[in-house]
Amino acid sequence: MTLKAQFHLLVVDDDPLIIESLKLLLPDHWRITALQNPKHLESRMIFHAAFVDMHLTKNLDFAEGPDLIQKISAENPQTEIVAMSGDLSMALMEQCLKAGARKFVAKPLSMDEILSCLEKIEALWMLRTLESRGGQGQIRWIGSSTTSLRIKETLATLRCENGHLLIEGETGTGKEIAFRILNQQEVNRPF
């Protein structure tokens, strides 16, 4: 039996039903800290991921979420932030992404989309861990440039995707390393 790493998720939403639904949905290796009021967020707390609602008060004319995303991102840039809202306006989505969110999910939340999102966040954290400590028999990703970080994020988003993958590039650019890292994320799938 393989033990999974423990992950910590912050959920900020004024709707207790959303918070309870996420608590029921989360896999066992995820721990949750739920806040209905962002004023209770302590700056010293570290999270692997954060799901932030865009409208945290009854005032639907103003979205408080982007400011909170910016605060979380500034205090802990490693946190993978997901914006949540029933307001699907392009302006709000762009505002969230500019503030530091990696993804925007629509409410009502889809169980499959949330689980897929969490799996991709786990994959990205696994890649970061491999980079920092390496592992016996594990492929290590070396590099911290902007391009290197983008490639790692792309590899993480491919976790649990169905279908065939084709990675193209010049000889010696690391195509096989990328494939081996993808395979390490899901060892039950063929190389």
Is residue 187 very low, low, confident or very high in pLDDT (cuts 50, 70, 90)? Answer: low
Residue 67 clears pLDDT 70, i.e. is over it:
yes
How confident is the model over 117-165, as pLDDT tens digits?
A: 999 898 888 877 765 555 555 666 667 778 877 877 777 777 767 777 7
**Cis, peptide link before residue 38, omega less than 30° from 0:** no
Taking the C-alpha atoms of residue 144 and residue 150, their distance in angstroms, rounded to an integer, is 10
pLDDT digits (tens, 9 = 90+) for 170-179: 877 777 777 7
Other CB atoms within 10 A of residue 95 CB: 20
- One-letter amino acid identity for 11? V
Q: What per-residue confidence (pLDDT) applies to 1?
A: 41
Of 14-18, 22-26, 125-129, 135-139, the one with minimum mean pLDDT is: 135-139
Residue 178 vs residue 1, higher pLDDT: 178
Residue that has been written with the tokens 């790493």 in this structure = 5
Contact 127, 156 (CB under 8 A): yes
Which residues are within 8 A (CB) of 167 and not within 5 positions of it... i.e. 6 or more apart? Answer: 175, 178, 179
Q: For residue 72, is pLDDT > 50?
A: yes
**Torsion sign across C-alpha atoms 35, 63, 15, 80:** negative
- 152's CB contacts (< 8 A; 6+ apart) are 124, 127, 128, 131, 141
- Rg over alpha carbons for the chain, rounded to the nearest Å, is 18
Q: What is the pLDDT of residues 81-129, one digit of tens each?
A: 999 999 999 999 999 999 999 999 999 999 999 999 999 898 888 877 7
Structure tokens at 142: 């070396």
Please state the pTM of the whole predicted model. Answer: 0.72
User: Is residue 137 helix, strand or coil?
Assistant: coil
Whether residue 105 contacts residue 49, with contact meaning beta carbons closer than 8 Å, is answered with: no
